[in-house]
Amino acid sequence: MRFSLIPRNYRFFDLLHASAKNLVEAGEALLDLMEHYQNVEMKIAHIRELEHKGDAITHEIMARLHKTFVTPIEREDIARLADRMDDVMDHVEEATAAMKIYEVSGPTIHSVEMADIVRLMTLKVEEAISRLPDHRRLRDILPDCVELNRLENAADDLFRRAMAELFHSETAPAEIIKWRDIYRQLEAATDRCEDVANLLEGIVLRHA
């Protein structure tokens, strides 16, 4: 039996996957809020709880990185993946918090569509992250990265249409300010999902 004198902590994959699954739950909760705008405070509070849960997972990842000598993939990649997924969660929570602070009467069609793209991207992030532990499946991550890039492009187009509609319709200035902030947070969430895709693509190209 061969023993390694240098431990390789594969718990990192479990924690990254836990963070990704937390994002999926947040994406589903975000879309539910937008599509069914009832019990708003309770739903926003739930998303806030998921944000706290994501913070705890990220903290554990960073703490383990400081204690682990050899990691299953580069420690910088682990840290960046954790950070970017945490950023996605932050932007989702900030978008919903803004809806509460601004006391919006209900979502716009564009916000529902953007929330659905966020949800789809979190599902794809979780799918890709789940493949990381299996070296034989690393290249299967590349199509996930392509799809995440496609979805982010769709989100960009939608964001531009939503902003154009705000400024070219007879929208009250206060409403423009509110929705500009909310749209930007949702669009930023998709940007950070694309960052995850770019990081994963780099990992695959170095290790597969």
**59-94 pLDDT tens trace:** 999 999 999 888 999 999 999 999 999 999 999 999
pLDDT at 167: 87
Nearest Cα to 22, choosing from 89, 121, 120? 89
pLDDT band at residue 190 using 50, 70 and 90 as cut-offs: very high
pLDDT at 106: 95
The CB-based long-range contact list for 100-107 (8 Å cut-off, 24+ gap) reads: 100/40, 100/41, 100/44, 102/178, 102/181, 102/182, 104/178, 104/179, 104/182, 106/37, 107/33, 107/34, 107/35, 107/37
List the domains of the chain with CATH numbers: 11-207 (1.20.58.220)
Q: What is the pLDDT of residues 32-45, one digit of tens each?
A: 999 999 999 999 99
Mean pLDDT of 8-15: 82
pLDDT at 6: 38
* Residues 138/208, Cβ–Cβ less than 8 Å: yes
Q: What is the pLDDT of residues 114-134, one digit of tens each?
A: 999 999 999 999 999 999 999
Taking the model in full, what pTM does it have? Answer: 0.93
pLDDT at 70: 87
Residue 23: count of CB within 10 angstroms of its CB: 29
C-alpha distances (whole Å) from 132 to each of 61, 72, 146, 156, 174 are 16, 10, 16, 28, 45
pLDDT at 8: 54
